[in-house]
Amino acid sequence: MSSIDVEKLNELMLKLLDCKTLEETYKVIVSVTAGIFQTSYGSIHIKNGTYFERVYSTLPPKFQVKSRRKGFVYEAYKKESVFLLPINHVSQFHKELLTLDIVGIVYIPIIFEKTKIGVLSINLTKKKKLNSKIISTLNFIGSLASLAITKAQAYQDMANALSTRDEFISLAAHELRTPLTSIHGYIQLLHKRFVNRKSREQDWINELYSQTHRLIYIVNELLDITRINSKKQQYVKNTFDVIPLINRVILRYMTIHSQRKYSFVNNTDERSIFIKGDPEKIDQLISHLVDNAAKFSQEDTPLSIVLLQKKNQIVITVVNKGNIPSDDLVHLFKKYYKGGDSLNTGMGLGLYLAKDIVKHHKGKISLKKSSQNDIEASIYLPRLV
């Protein structure tokens, strides 16, 4: 072997770009490099303190012995150089390798610039010679391996951090939910008692009522986002009438925000419109749109829900006199995006969660400015005919 096939190097680079886990990365590095030498045996040794850990190997388990502290792996790592040893040099320490018909081992340091990670060892079953060109190419492979392993480690660390974050958020949200429900229940009783009284106390209770509802809404958003991330979001679908559901959402928001004018416009000329879906999730979906519309508009402006029918679809549009820059409209469905106005409350999850609910109901969602400069958030859902 006087040179290494360029196609093999391209194959290695392309495959490493697709790897997301350390196990995938190790497998690709060993399989492609071993293939260059027309063998199937290889291992990756990663420096762990003063020792080397064999993190991946295609050798049978009984041959995956520990690397010696001052052995050949250590030497390749320390000298940062590629070298090939005939089996008689290695068999004095690892006699078991003779039974695999191995004729030599190539040691390739996994290093990029000044960052050393470990050593790639390839067990040869045919006699090979290394010239300067091949050694240079193997050093390049070692650099590629170093970058790929570092990337995979960073990706894994990020995934672990996100998992820990989601677990913390889920636990915190669950712990908050119970006391908030209790507090909100008592505030509801006070709200009913003072609903027809004009006093400072009534204003305080109204504000408490509104803010506790807001807290419950945020906690539910956090629970929903962790369920989506962990793919544990459940949908219980059945047939239901969407019109009374919209009326309930309107009534709820009229109670919470009594200063704002809410309206429901049914342009279908029908008293009942049935769809198949999860009524609780559709309630959340419309609530997310209403809540978002309320955040991006003044309290003294009206907010309406308009129901239309287009062929075999129903269209529910939330219309408000919001002042959202056109540049923000295309980004509002992104997770945690809150728009250019940093004073907006909430976590920027409402429309992201709304989009996920629509996707699970085989519908569509859009956000645009009308010719009257109103903001229109529309959802398109299949109607039962």
Share of the chain above pLDDT 70, in %: 94
- Tell me, yes or no, whether 257 and 372 share the same domain: yes
Residues 221, 347 contacting (CB under 8 angstroms)? yes
Residue 338 counted as domain residue = yes
Share of the chain above pLDDT 90, in %: 29
- pLDDT at residue 343 in the model: 43
Residues 274, 384 contacting (CB under 8 angstroms)? yes
Q: Which two tokens stand for residue 297?
A: 């508009």
CA 256 to chain centroid: 33
3-class secondary structure, 351: helix
Residue 212 counted as domain residue = no
- Tell me, yes or no, whether 147 and 238 share the same domain: no
- Tell me, yes or no, whether 137 and 45 share the same domain: yes
- Tell me, yes or no, whether 151 and 271 share the same domain: no
Count CA atoms within 13 Å of residue 184 on its CB side. Answer: 15
Separation CA 226–CA 233 (nearest Å): 9
- pLDDT at residue 108 in the model: 94
Which of these three, 117, 134, 157, is where a domain ends? 157
- Tell me, yes or no, whether 29 and 121 share the same domain: yes
- Tell me, yes or no, whether 26 and 114 share the same domain: yes
- Tell me, yes or no, whether 104 and 247 share the same domain: no
- Per-residue model confidence as pLDDT tens digits over 144-174: 999 999 999 998 898 888 788 877 877 787 7
Which of these three, 122, 138, 157, is where a domain ends? 157
Residue 175 counted as domain residue = no
Residue 38 counted as domain residue = yes
CB atoms inside a 10 Å sphere around CB 151? 16
- pLDDT at residue 340 in the model: 57
Candidate from 3-17, 18-32, 269-283 with smallest mean pLDDT: 3-17
- pLDDT at residue 286 in the model: 93
When mean pLDDT is compared over 179-183, 279-283, 330-334, 369-373, the highest value belongs to 279-283
Residue 342 counted as domain residue = yes
- Per-residue model confidence as pLDDT tens digits over 170-216: 778 778 877 887 887 888 888 778 777 777 887 888 888 878 877 88
Q: Domain residues for 361? A: 234-385
- Per-residue model confidence as pLDDT tens digits over 105-132: 899 999 988 889 999 999 888 888 888 8
Residues 305, 246 contacting (CB under 8 angstroms)? yes
Maximum Cα interatomic distance, the chain, rounded to a whole number of Å: 97
- Judged against a pLDDT cut of 80, whether residue 2 lies above it is answered with no
- pLDDT at residue 4 in the model: 64
Q: Count helices and strands (H / E) in the chain.
A: 10, 12
- Per-residue model confidence as pLDDT tens digits over 46-98: 998 888 999 999 988 877 777 777 788 898 999 999 999 888 787 777 776 76
* Total count of residues recorded for the chain: 385
Domain count, the chain: 2
Backbone angles phi, psi at 231, to 5 degrees: 55, 40
- Tell me, yes or no, whether 153 and 288 share the same domain: no
- Tell me, yes or no, whether 365 and 253 share the same domain: yes
Which amino acid is located at 273 in the chain? I
